[in-house]
């Protein structure tokens, strides 16, 4: 396997693959030769400056694409398309792309080639999220009515104007979709933080295809004491709350005061461990040769989250409620 882009996030991918006995890193690729050489020395593999340089003569079955670019998604398209055209399964970093036409092309090519294509939507890959989803699937919450999500961090980066929405909220929207399904319509309001040029705060109202109503609060102007994220799903028979991706899961029955609480399910204690969990699932599913359409956190699912993001931006810019485009 190989890693494209060995900056901070790509290095995390590389270490997880390296520590898994089922994997062998045969190549790393980065436009900055010093990064590629350092990673190649560490993992005893080939170093390349481009995918086109790497592909000839290198036997690769899966690749992590961890390039960044504008809004953290601008540089995913070219390496992903080259890899898929070469018949190689791809795990991309989020967001899938900040350009919807390019995202659609990548998803369509993976489908045409019958290749596994996943995105690192790691916030859903926690024992706590999976337990909460099991409660929903079993009907423990009854008929779902409401979903609320808060995700915020302190990120002073300013440019471009919608960096916050496009770079961060593929995660929050994916988690909301994981529990409640596809989003039909959105209405959004943005605010610039103090001294900001970009839109660093957002509130998004959502109507899901199921009839569930939802709300997202997001910010790049938050402090570490605020926590990273909180998900609340409310049904006719109960309510679940998932705090900080993996740390705390709570169930509140509608007709009782007996609250069920869980902390650090599965031994996962912090958000950093979600990378291991997500990439581990990607490895598991490739080793098991699961069908491409059964990949968890697929490119198709990432595209759906990105379409909600673009609809929210359009809502703010036009002052209208926007129907989410079809993938």
User: Tokens representing 222?
Assistant: 């938050």
Q: In the listed set 92, 121, 150, which residue is the last one of a domain according to the structure?
A: 121
Tell me: do 165 and 92 sit in the same domain.
no
Classify residue 210: in a domain, yes or no. Answer: yes
pLDDT, position 25? 98
Domain assignment of residue 104, given as a range = 2-121
Sign of CA dihedral 303, 308, 314, 317: negative
* Final residue belonging to a domain, choices 94, 121, 148: 121
CATH number at residue 206: 3.30.360.10
Q: How far is the C-alpha of 72 from the C-alpha of 309, rounded, in Å?
A: 14
Residue 79: name the closest of 192, 2, 193 by CA.
Answer: 2
Examine residue 201 and state whether it is found in any structural domain, yes or no: yes
Whether residues 101 and 151 fall in one domain: no
pLDDT of residue 110: 98
Eight-state DSSP code of residue 10: H
Q: By C-alpha distance, which of 310, 288, 281, 280 is closest to 96? A: 310
pLDDT at residue 157, as a whole number: 87
Q: Smallest Cα–Cα separation from 97: which of 118, 77, 122?
A: 77
Distance CA 79, CA 67 (A): 9
Q: In what order do the strands lie in the sheet with 2-4?
A: 46-48, 27-29, 2-4, 62-65, 89-92, 117-119
Q: What is the pLDDT along the chain (327 residues), one digit of tens a residue?
A: 999 999 999 999 999 999 999 999 999 999 999 999 999 999 999 999 999 999 998 899 999 999 988 777 789 999 999 999 999 999 999 999 989 999 999 999 999 999 999 999 999 999 999 999 999 999 999 999 999 999 999 999 887 899 999 999 999 999 999 999 999 999 999 999 999 999 999 999 999 999 999 999 999 999 999 999 999 999 999 999 999 999 999 999 999 999 999 999 999 999 999 999 999 999 999 999 999 999 999 999 999 999 999 999 999 999 999 999 987
Provide the strand spans (E) within 110-228. Answer: 117-119, 144-152, 183-191, 201-208, 213-219
Q: Are residues 138 and 42 in the same domain?
A: no
Taking alpha carbons only, the member of 307, 287, 284, 308 closest to residue 296 is 284
Residue 50 forms part of a structural domain: yes
Of 65, 88, 121, the last residue of a domain is 121
State the pLDDT at residue 221. Answer: 97
Residues 6+ apart with CB under 8 A from 193: 200, 201, 219, 220, 221
169 and 314 together in one domain: yes
As a whole number of Å, the end-to-end CA separation of the chain is 29
Tell me the two tokens of residue 287.
Answer: 């080793």
Same domain, 13 and 93: yes
Per the structure, the count of domains in the chain is 2
Claim to verify: residue 54 and residue 114 sit in the same structural domain: yes
The DSSP output letter for 76 is S
CB 160 within 8 A of CB 70: yes
Residues 6+ apart with CB under 8 A from 32: none
């Amino acid at each position: 396997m190989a890693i494209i882009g060995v900056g901070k996030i790509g290095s995390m991918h590389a270490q997880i693959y390296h520590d898994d006995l089922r994997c062998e890193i045969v190549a790393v690729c980065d436009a900055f030769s010093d990064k590629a050489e350092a990673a190649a020395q560490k993992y005893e593999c080939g170093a390349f400056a481009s995918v086109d340089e790497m592909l000839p003569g290198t036997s690769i079955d899966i690749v992590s694409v961890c390039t960044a670019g504008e809004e953290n998604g601008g540089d995913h398209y070219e390496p992903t398309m080259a890899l898929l055209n070469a018949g190689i399964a791809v795990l991309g970093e989020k967001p899938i792309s900040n350009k919807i036409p390019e995202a659609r092309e990548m998803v369509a090519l993976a489908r045409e080639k019958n290749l596994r294509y996943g995105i690192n939507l790691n916030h859903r890959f926690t024992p706590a999220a999976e337990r909460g989803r099991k409660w929903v699937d079993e009907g423990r919450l009854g008929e779902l009515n409401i979903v609320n999500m808060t995700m915020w961090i302190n990120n002073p980066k300013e440019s471009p104007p919608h960096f916050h929405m496009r770079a961060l909220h593929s995660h929050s929207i994916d988690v909301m979709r994981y529990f409640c399904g596809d989003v039909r319509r959105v209405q959004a309001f943005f605010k610039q933080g103090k001294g900001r040029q970009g839109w660093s705060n957002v509130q998004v109202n959502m109507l899901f295809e199921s009839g569930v109503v939802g709300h997202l609060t997001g910010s790049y102007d938050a402090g570490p004491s605020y926590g990273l994220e909180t998900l609340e799903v409310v049904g006719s028979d109960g309510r679940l709350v998932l705090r900080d991706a993996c740390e705390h899961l709570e169930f509140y029955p509608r007709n009782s005061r007996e609250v069920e609480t869980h902390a650090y399910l599965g031994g996962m204690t912090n958000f950093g461990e979600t990378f291991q969990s997500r990439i581990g699932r990607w490895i598991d599913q490739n080793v098991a040769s699961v069908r491409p359409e059964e990949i968890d956190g697929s490119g198709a699912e990432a595209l759906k989250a990105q379409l909600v993001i673009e609809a929210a931006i359009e809502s703010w810019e036009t002052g209208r409620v926007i129907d989410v485009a079809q993938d």
